[in-house]
Amino acid sequence: MANVAVLGYGVVGSGVVEVLKENSVSISRKAGEEIRVKKILDIRDFPDSPDRDLITHNPDDVFEDDSINIVVETIGGVGIAHEYTRRAFLKGKHVVTSNKELVATHGPELMKLAKECGVNYLFEASVGGGIPIIRPLNQCLAANEIVGITGILNGTTNYILTQMKREGKNFDEALKSAQQNGYAEANPAADIEGHDACRKIAILSSIAYNEFVDSKNIYTEGISNITLADMEYAEAMNSVIKLLAISKKVGDKIFARVSPAIISKNHPVANVEDVFNAIIVKGNAIGDAMFYGKGAGKLPTASAVVADVIDIVRHIDSNGRTVWKRKDYNNIIDINESTTRFFIRVSANNSEEAENYIKQVFGDVEFIKAARDSYKDEVAFVTAKAKEGELVSKKESLKASASINDIISVIRVEEE
């Protein structure tokens, strides 16, 4: 019998207990032995929960109990979750987690410690919720040189963008609904400002390129400035707006970025809506492989956690998963050195003069006409591909023009 302790009885933790109980017969058959939850560690009481008898507030009940061999960490964050993960390893316990912040921040050290302690640290649920992506990248696609990854990696923001586009809902209503469904982070700023997607692309890139990709060095921009008007312009371009996480191997460096992007409706992730995530992995042998499914929520995420628990029980005596090496230099390409196309909207007091001025500053541009008359005092255009670093001075030039009042939006246009 394998005994599991669950740390943190929140949305995901309670989902893990539910899945382990609900599917216990088939899970035990697949694992080769019975798996039961022996303890749940949380600072809160849950008097109405069917699992109330398993709740403890005392960490020793988990770490000093030698019969508990697997710890599921669903606390989140890099505080106590970090301390408990280390303590579990040092006590010879395997750890399974959905905590992307911890993996993205302390992954190399924790993997090293797990290896030294002869245990495993598995985190399938940290990226893509219920979508199998960590194991496919680590194992099934291991024969490939991974060239690039493009993904919608945050369910909350994809849900918000979908609600805005489909229902014309405002941002706050859509966010509230995502929180009620258990999709959002405890602090939803991590979703909205792109940090959650950033941690996830950092984890996927670390596996794909076999070196630690530090999320701190990845350019990250969220969706809080995206408006319904931007979406109407995207529609006029036969496109949609998505929060895209991208990484590519470029020589011995890595390009990585999280930002809203205008993508054609023909792009493979354009129709990925609501809480769904999609990840396209480009390998030199497989070509493009796409992974799609529910990227957030209680049971989808619990499904991935429990799969890791089963994997550990099946291979209880083996460890030796990879350890990400930290480079002694910044392996991420400076965003200013990368090239992209931009969609830019300005308010203008004289459209014709503004268009002429824009052509002087940006050269060859494509002007976009929105469908509605209410945008008649605006000029919108898409630039040719140019270095990101040049944008700052070009924006200053736009502001200096007498025909242009203000810059309203700047959104990247992504082609692949």
Active site residues: 200
Stretch near ligand HSE under the rule CB under 6 A, chosen from 150-158, 232-240, 249-257, 315-323: 150-158
Binding residue for ligand HSE, selected from 37, 223, 245, 296, defined by CB under 6 A: 296
Query: How many helices (DSSP H) and strands (DSSP E) are in the chain?
Result: 14, 17
Residue 413 Cβ vs ligand HSE, minimum distance, rounded to whole Å: 24
Binding residue for ligand HSE, selected from 69, 99, 156, 205, defined by CB under 6 A: 156
Query: How many angstroms separate the CA atoms of 258 and 116, rounded?
Result: 34
Residue 388 Cβ vs ligand HSE, minimum distance, rounded to whole Å: 26
Q: Does the footprint of ligand HSE cover residue 191 (CB under 6 A)?
A: yes
Measured from the CB atom, the residue of 16 and 237 that comes closer to ligand HSE is 16
Q: Does the footprint of ligand HSE cover residue 295 (CB under 6 A)?
A: yes
Q: Does the footprint of ligand HSE cover residue 331 (CB under 6 A)?
A: no
User: Residues for the chain: how many in total?
Assistant: 416
61: Cα within 13 Å, side-chain hemisphere: 14
Looking at residue 37, the DSSP 8-state letter turns out to be E
Measured from the CB atom, the residue of 223 and 296 that comes closer to ligand HSE is 296
Query: How many angstroms separate the CA atoms of 246 and 153, rounded?
Result: 10
Binding residue for ligand HSE, selected from 8, 155, 194, 260, defined by CB under 6 A: 155
Burial of 65 (0-12, 13-18, 19+ CB in 10 A): middle
In the block, which residue shows the tokens 């796409």? 290
Stretch near ligand HSE under the rule CB under 6 A, chosen from 24-32, 61-69, 178-186, 384-392: 178-186
Q: Does the footprint of ligand HSE cover residue 308 (CB under 6 A)?
A: no
Measured from the CB atom, the residue of 120 and 156 that comes closer to ligand HSE is 156
Find residue 367's DSSP bridge partners: 381
- The structure tokens listed for 118 are 């002869």
* Sign (positive or negative) of CA dihedral 94, 72, 276, 232: negative
Stretch near ligand HSE under the rule CB under 6 A, chosen from 179-187, 204-212, 264-272, 400-408: 179-187
Query: How many angstroms separate the CA atoms of 334 and 257, rounded?
Result: 10
Residue type (1 letter), 192: I
Write out the binding residues for ligand HSE, residues 366-385 only, by CB under 6 A. Answer: none
Query: How many angstroms separate the CA atoms of 108 and 117, rounded?
Result: 14
DSSP of 192-215: HTSHHHHHHHHHHHHHHHTS---G
Question: If binding means CB under 6 A, how many residues of this protein chain bind ligand HSE?
Answer: 11
Stretch near ligand HSE under the rule CB under 6 A, chosen from 18-26, 154-162, 221-229, 282-290: 154-162
- Phi (first) and psi of residue 387, to 5 degrees: -65, 135
Q: Does the footprint of ligand HSE cover residue 151 (CB under 6 A)?
A: no
Q: Do residues 254 and 247 touch, judged by C-beta distance below 8 A?
A: yes
Write out the binding residues for ligand HSE, residues 83-142 only, by CB under 6 A. Answer: 129
Residues 215-254, one symbol each (x = binds ligand HSE by CB under 6 A, - = not), give: ----------------------------------------
Query: How many angstroms separate the CA atoms of 80 and 195, rounded?
Result: 20
Cα Rg of the chain, angstroms: 24
Residue 327 Cβ vs ligand HSE, minimum distance, rounded to whole Å: 26
Q: Do residues 183 and 159 touch, judged by C-beta distance below 8 A?
A: yes
Stretch near ligand HSE under the rule CB under 6 A, chosen from 72-80, 183-191, 346-354, 407-415: 183-191
Query: How many angstroms separate the CA atoms of 112 and 155, rounded?
Result: 30
Binding residue for ligand HSE, selected from 17, 174, 184, 203, defined by CB under 6 A: 184
- 174: which residues sit within 8 A by CB, 6+ positions away? 159, 160, 163, 164
Q: Does the footprint of ligand HSE cover residue 154 (CB under 6 A)?
A: yes
Q: Does the footprint of ligand HSE cover residue 193 (CB under 6 A)?
A: no
Stretch near ligand HSE under the rule CB under 6 A, chosen from 113-121, 184-192, 202-210, 353-361: 184-192
Residue 275 Cβ vs ligand HSE, minimum distance, rounded to whole Å: 7
Residue 296 Cβ vs ligand HSE, minimum distance, rounded to whole Å: 4
Query: How many angstroms separate the CA atoms of 65 and 160, rounded?
Result: 44
Which residues contact ligand HSE by CB under 6 A?
Answer: 129, 154-156, 183-185, 191, 196, 295-296
